[in-house]
Amino acid sequence: MKKKKSNQKPLTLDELIEYNQKVLFPFLEEIFLTKKEFQEFKNKEFQGFKNEVLTNFDAIQKKLDVLLTEKTIRECRERKEKKLWKIIIKALKEHRILSQKELEEIAKLEIF
Return the HEC string of the chain: CCCCCCCCCCCCHHHHHHHHHHHHHHHHHHHCCCHHHHHHHHHHHHHHHHHHHHHHHHHHHHHHHHHHHHHHHHHHHHHHHHHHHHHHHHHHHHCCCCCHHHHHHHHHHCCC
Residue 71's pLDDT is 96
Residue 3's pLDDT is 56
pLDDT averaged per 10 residues, the chain (length 112): 63 84 76 76 77 90 96 94 87 85 83 66
Domain ranges of the chain: 37-109
Residue 6's pLDDT is 60
Residue 107's pLDDT is 81
Write phi, then psi, for 30 (nearest 5 degrees): -75, -25
